[in-house]
Amino acid sequence: MPDADHNPDAPVLLAGDAMRVADDGNPRLVGIVCGNCGARAFPPAPVCSECMSEDVRELELSPEGSLYAFSVVHVAPAEWDTPYIAGYVDLPEGVRVFAHITGADAGALEMDSPVRLTTARLGTAGDGAAVESYAFRPANSGMENA
């Protein structure tokens, strides 16, 4: 995952251009909206997947959505913490995001329940650095980071 020059004291961030920190200090996902057909998508891409137009611009996505589906993953690449919960979250912009679900056991999660964007440690790189990315947690859990 990390390159040879990575500082193991700094986390490895997987999100790239798909996440930024907003003015309020909280993470936001960045998708795209197509200037030709209006389609919205995540993660950002240089071409609209609906009409192939290159007339796309960034769209900052809502940090709150609803849990569409989820599953517990027990087998993953060696650097990932297992088990973890993978899920699809529907955002108000009409975008469905695939992400880790944190802050709750699978048995406590419910379909269509409100979830909120957060960041989470997802694993440990070969050099010992934390591997972090965006994730969603139950919106009413009161946990800022899980």
CA atoms within 13 A on the CB side of 53: 15
User: What's the distance, Cα to Cα, between the start and end of the chain in Å?
Assistant: 22
Return the residue of 29, 48, 99, 117 that touches Zn ion, per CB under 5 A. 48
Minimum CB–partner distance for residue 48 and Zn ion (Å): 3
Q: What number of H helices and E strands is found in the chain?
A: 0, 10
The values of phi and psi at residue 89, to 5°, are: -120, 125
Query: Between residues 50 and 81, which has the closer beta carbon with respect to Zn ion?
Result: 50
Under rule CB under 5 A, residue 55 binds Zn ion: no
Under rule CB under 5 A, residue 49 binds Zn ion: no
d(Cα 132, Cα 39) in Å, to the nearest integer?
A: 29
Minimum CB–partner distance for residue 53 and Zn ion (Å): 5
Minimum CB–partner distance for residue 78 and Zn ion (Å): 39
d(Cα 86, Cα 72) in Å, to the nearest integer?
A: 6
Question: Smallest Cα–Cα separation from 61: which of 85, 35, 96?
Answer: 96
Query: Between residues 26 and 36, which has the closer beta carbon with respect to Zn ion?
Result: 36
Return the residue of 19, 29, 33, 34 that touches Zn ion, per CB under 5 A. 34
Minimum CB–partner distance for residue 17 and Zn ion (Å): 19
Contact positions toward Zn ion, by CB under 5 A?
A: 34, 36-37, 39, 48, 50-51, 53
